A = this chain, B = another copy of it.
Amino acid sequence: MVTVILLSIKEIRRREKEQRRDYILNEAEKLFFSRDYDNVSMNQIAQEVGLNKATLYLYFNNKESIYFAIVLRGVQIFKEILKNKVNTGKTGIDKLEEAGRAYFEFYKDYPDYHDVYLYFKSKRFKDSRDEYALQIESLTGDLMIIICNSIQEGIKDGTIRKEVKPIEVAVFVAVTAERIVGLGPTTLKVLECQGIKHEQFIEDSMDLWRHMVMNNVQN
């Protein structure tokens, strides 16, 4: 049987535009992943995609906006990893631990997306009202909610102690995760002198998180 799908001209145009937008992002990504933000220009992006600059501006407002659209891709990937990981945890405290593991997986499997996400969160872009920046903020909010829900579940099932405030633990875990993967060279040297590799430190940090919130009182 042959199925004939009739698409309106408008729909065809929309799809074409979408594909071209993705293509632009794929090419721009290569540039942003290989050099510093300030060393990438709209001219270079236009050259890389083989379009003139005017056409580029039909798709994106400016360089910042292209960059944010790439960061957004990264956050979407991270959200998927986080959701899947958290679902494998049985108890609330397991889910919180899996949330931590999700971050380390993201950092390890998608280092470039991880880097641009961290740079996006630096002070440099803090006042941006770009549409993609707003979408990133909204997605980041979703991530925090997923973590908060795990903690609340842990308080309910008795694996996490009642006194902790879920949002504080979520923030604490989020900010420490960032620093743990981004240890400076001096700190790495200090650990290595004691025979501790970065991976080991990450693993042991999860044990510290666990003890930080776990309920020791037997119900």
Contact = CB atoms under 8 A, between A and B. Distances in A.
Interface string A186-219: 1100110010100001001100110111101000
Nearest to A175: B179
A187 B205 CA distance: 22
Contacts of A174: 187
Given A165-B194, A211-B211, A175 B171 contact: no
A27 to B, nearest CB: 27
A164 interface: yes
Interface in A136-187: 137, 140-141, 144, 161, 164-165, 167-169, 171-172, 174-176, 178-180, 183-187
A158 B175 CA distance: 30
Instruction: Tell me which of A169, A194, A213 has the highest count of chain B C-beta atoms within 10 A of its own C-beta.
Output: A194
